Chain A
Amino acid sequence: MATQAQMDRLVGKALFDAEFRALLIADPEKAARSLRYRLTESQAARIRSLSAEELAQLAAAFAEAASLNSFHGIGFW
């Protein structure tokens, strides 16, 4: 069973990488194995139920959100 952190990385990688996104939707187990993760049947089914189009839209929105937020601001200097 993939841990929550592994699920985050698996789906997160699909948000940045279009090729990996296509693999994840077509064959979630194979995509997970490429990161040395193992999915349960229900985890794989949940991913399979996602729509590639929806994920691509989320990926675009996510990249934009990530880019708009600066991580700095600790008042260092």
Chain B
Amino acid sequence: MQPPRLPQMLELAVRSQVDAALADEPADLIELGTRLLDRLSPPNWALEWSLPGWLGRALGLHASAIAALTLANVYGLAYVKLRDDLSDGEISEGDRPAALTLAMTFHRRWLLTYTGLFPGDSPFWSFFERYMAQWIAATLRSRQALGKPFRDYDEADLRGLGERGAPLMICAAAVCLLARQEGLIPSFEAMLGHLLTGAVLLDHALDWSDDLAAGRYNVFVAYASALPQTFAYKGANRRAVAEELMVGNAARPYFRLIGRELQVATDASCAAGVTGLTDYLIWLQSQASDYGRRLAQDSRTRLHALVGRILEPALAADIPVTPS
């Protein structure tokens, strides 16, 4: 099922503006930028493309302002994603110089779009600075263990996880300021904080195996194992995750936490009358709970096949250890 998103006309208009901006760049940047944008375009990253439109419509912004805010958000998304990919070593050595230059290009375009909307003395810029500082701090933190077991995570730790997506809050502050409803910023910030925490927790559940292989700290692994996430404990951490999934609680408490975070965001969005975002959050909740269920079911199926082989080897000789 596809996520709810903007009208396709607006997506196409924004994409063509980004393509036109890239057209002035050197050929290797155009090629890399086009590949990146293809990867980041809807239905992928639907939230980042659609949030300015969903919030803007709820607050009565003019279509031209919504289009400009959407364009800014796409530049911001491209910049943040490139920086993340560079930090995570996901850009090949050959592409690194172009990726660094392209990241600067997107950052410049991002700022230029906002400078067309807000004068230098607008409070917008302090929100911009604050959310970017949160993102930088959260990015640095994400490479390290939190220094406490997952079961001891408190409210601040959960919010800190969500700050990996703090740049998304920039467009929410921008919408409120343009709509002259600055007073809504704290409640939108809290709502998006819960959304982002839920999304980051889900992202870690999706990526745990790859993260462990790459030596990246992963919260889902921390949920299943109190061991340090160093290469020396890689095998033990994998076994701990498999044990939790197959003979433990199948990560149900972890997925309940995701559900709780997303539900708080859904209630806030519904109360604020942000219909598109509410629909998206309902969709995201269903994705998370479906994934949790599949994870549990898949694990139990594997376990059942193996136990069948152990207890009834003659009957179960053809059952594979893992499903194909």
Any chain B CB within 8 A of the CB of A50? yes
Q: Which residues of B contact A69 (CB under 8 A)?
A: 209, 302, 322
Q: Which of B12-69 contact A (CB under 8 A)?
A: 44-45
Residues of chain B within 8 A of A8, CB atoms compared = 300, 303-304, 307
Q: Are A58 and B310 in contact (CB under 8 A)?
A: yes
Considering only CB atoms and an 8 Å cut-off, how many residues of chain B contact the other chain? Answer: 35
Which residue of B has the minimal Cβ distance to A35? Answer: B247
- Indicate if the CB atoms of A67 and B306 lie closer than 8 Å: no
In the complex the two chains form, what is the Cα distance from A72 to B300 in whole Å? 15
Pick the contact of A12: B44, B202, B307, B322 (CB < 8 A): B307
Chain B, Cβ-Cβ closest to A72: B206
- Closest chain A CB from B104 CB (angstroms): 25
Task: Determine whether the beta carbon of B45 is less than 8 Å from that of A16.
Answer: no
B242 touches A66 (CB 8 A): yes
A66 and B210 contacting across the interface, CB-CB below 8 Å? no
0/1 per residue, B266-304, Cβ < 8 Å to A? 000000000000000000000100110011001110111
Docked-complex contact A63 and B311, CB < 8 angstroms: no
Which A38-77 residues sit within 8 Å CB-CB of chain B?
A: 46-47, 50, 55, 58, 61-63, 65-67, 69-72, 74, 76-77
- Residue B239 CB within 8 A of the other chain: yes
B245 lies within 8 A of A77 (CB):
no
Cβ-defined contact, A12 with B209, below 8 A: no
B302 and A66 form a contact (CB under 8 A)? yes
Q: Are A74 and B242 in contact (CB under 8 A)?
A: no
Check if B44 sits within 8 Å of A77, measured CB to CB.
yes
A7: interface (CB < 8 Å)? yes
B310 touches A55 (CB 8 A): yes
**A7 & B206 in contact (Cβ 8 Å cutoff):** no
On chain B, the residues within 8 Å of A16 by CB distance are: 239, 242-243, 246-247
Decide: B242 and A11 in contact? CB cutoff 8 A: no
B235 adjacent to chain A (CB < 8 Å): yes
**A30 at the A/B interface (Cβ < 8 Å)?**
no
Q: Contacting B238 at CB < 8 Å: which of A61, A67, A77?
A: A67
What sequence of 0s and 1s flags, for each residue 2-18 of chain A, a beta carbon within 8 Å of any chain B beta carbon? 00110111011101110
